[in-house]
Structure 1
Amino acid sequence: MKKIFLLFAVALLIIACNKDDEAPQPTPEPTEIEKLPPATQTGANKVGCLLNGKAFLPSGTNPTGGNPNPYCAYYHDAFVLSFSIVRNENNTSMEGTESIAIHSSNVILEESKTYSLKINDQRAGYLITKRSPKSDRYDTTEEQVGEFHITKLDKEKNIISGTFWFDAVNEQGKKVEIREGRFDMVFEGWAGKV
């Protein structure tokens, strides 16, 4: 009888240990880069990047009632991609808003090409923060540069996808770093179609 009891106790102990091993584990918090949208090429209307190491993703609606958030347009030789974090939906002055934008002009974009972002190339990247008591603007310059790369350009379906990064400074020389940028957008415009 003692042997049966001992075997029964050992079996219960093994079952109990196995149940402890199966206890639910807490889901780890995603890293900042895991918070970014995947790099797709389907016209998913997704964009994001790291701003000084933190995930920067569009949120809120455009408080001026104009373009959507995010917004992308490509009219033959002029391209713009912009997205914002809007912290106060009812504020038409956009105070509390941070926006990142990339724009180019006088260039016909091509798939699989990389373009520099610096002020004299008629292509630039910038960050605008609107906070009380004043706004602050960070721009690419001759020294603070970046790149955007077009991974897909479908002029029939108006899809443009790619990656970007840049450094930008404000008037006081304070620098911001935009890294791991990715976008997959349906653009407004005609992209050179005649």
Structure 2
Amino acid sequence: MNHLPLLLLTLLLTASACKKEKTELEKLPDATQTGSGAGAFLLDGQAWLPDNSKTINIGGGGGGFLARWRRTKTGRALELTFGKYSDGTGLNIYLPDVRKIGTFQFDQQASIMLGDRNPAYGVYFMTKSLSIPRSFLTGPTATGTLTITRFDTVAHIVSGTFEMTVKEDKSPETHQLTHGRFDYPF
């Protein structure tokens, strides 16, 4: 008796029952340009996605994200916030004057004291379960870029990608944010 068909059927069933684990990059939402509200990045190689329920940004909306485009003394500032309420971490990105698609550099020193007069910057923060909140910023020694691929002031959609290194001011600790993407209504 030929056992080959039975062996092939067993192998086929065994192979289809195994689920392939997603890579960290596959855990991120697709890079879209529809205003889906998706945004995420790899933090030191691990998928970081905002919470779906709350945002930790003051005055922010639901879904763990917020995009705001507003007039300032220096131009039309765009602010993007990614929030993860569950672990008290988040990312704020500030661009001082956005009017069209393009690439923005994070390579200058930012200061909370400068407010709307800051250069473009990114800040990753940790607040939960810490006696002193920690902030990691871009700057001259921790650089990055953000590319806006869609900036639609009629449909109110901003989409793009980013990569950056952020460094804590009071220590040498750094973090790598890679494969960042966002597709936010504003």
Q: Normalised by the shorter chain, which TM-score bucket?
A: 0.7 to 0.9
Of residues 140, 154, 157 in structure 1, which corresponds to 2:155?
Answer: 157
- 1:127 corresponds to 2:127: no
Of residues 66, 69, 74 in structure 2, which corresponds to 1:71?
Answer: 66
Distance 1:78 1:175, change over 3 A: same
3-state SS in 1 of match to 2:29? coil
TM-score normalised to the size of structure 1? Answer: 0.80
How far apart, CA to CA, are the structure 2 residues paired with 1:169 and 1:64?
Answer: 21
3-state SS in 2 of match to 1:22? helix
Gaps of 5+ in 2: 110-117
- 1:49 corresponds to 2:44: no
Amino acid at match of 2:68: A
- Counterpart of 2:19 in structure 1 is 27
Larger radius of gyration: 1
- Counterpart of 2:105 in structure 1 is 116
3-state SS in 1 of match to 2:17? coil
Distance 1:128 1:64, change over 3 A: closer
3-state SS in 2 of match to 1:81? strand
How big is the shift at 1:27?
Answer: 1.0
How big is the shift at 1:64?
Answer: 7.0
How far apart, CA to CA, are the structure 1 residues paired with 2:80 and 2:121?
Answer: 11
Amino acid at match of 2:158: I
How big is the shift at 1:61?
Answer: 0.6
Distance 1:65 1:169, change over 3 A: closer
Of residues 145, 166, 169 in structure 2, which corresponds to 1:168?
Answer: 166
How big is the shift at 1:80?
Answer: 0.6
- Counterpart of 1:182 in structure 2 is 181
How far apart, CA to CA, are the structure 1 residues paired with 2:122 and 2:58?
Answer: 23
TM-score normalised to the size of structure 2? Answer: 0.83
Distance 1:75 1:169, change over 3 A: same
- 1:103 corresponds to 2:94: yes
Distance 1:145 1:64, change over 3 A: closer
Amino acid at match of 2:178: R
Pairwise CA RMSD: 1.7
How far apart, CA to CA, are the structure 2 residues paired with 1:114 and 1:146?
Answer: 10
What is the number of residues matched between the two proteins? 167
Distance 1:64 1:167, change over 3 A: closer
How far apart, CA to CA, are the structure 2 residues paired with 1:180 and 1:41?
Answer: 16
Q: Note if contact 1:118-1:125 (Cα within 8 Å) is conserved in structure 2.
A: no
Gaps of 5+ in 1: 1-8, 88-95, 188-194
